[in-house]
Amino acid sequence: MFLLNDSLGVLSSGQRMFLAAMVSFYNASEGAAMLRRCGFEGLSDLGGLDLQRRQVIADLVLHYNGW
């Protein structure tokens, strides 16, 4: 996770949000920490992502069985 955290500084705000949201599906505590560092406050913040990234997150919500 250290490499991912290091990469947050060089990514755009949308890329940071998307990466942190993706991490949160697979590691809730690390993902939550990353989302806080990105300034994520709730699901409505996902509206700042472009359509393709929102679709990936929506597909994970609908189809990811790892809960």
Number of domains in the chain: 1
pLDDT one-digit tens code per residue, 12-66: 888 989 999 999 888 889 889 989 988 898 889 999 999 999 999 999 999 988 7
Q: How far is CA 25 from the centre of its chain?
A: 8
pTM exceeds 0.85, yes or no: no
Range of the domain at 45: 2-63
Query: At 66, phi and psi to the nearest 5?
Result: -85, 10
CA-to-CA distance for 29 and 27, rounded, in angstroms?
A: 6
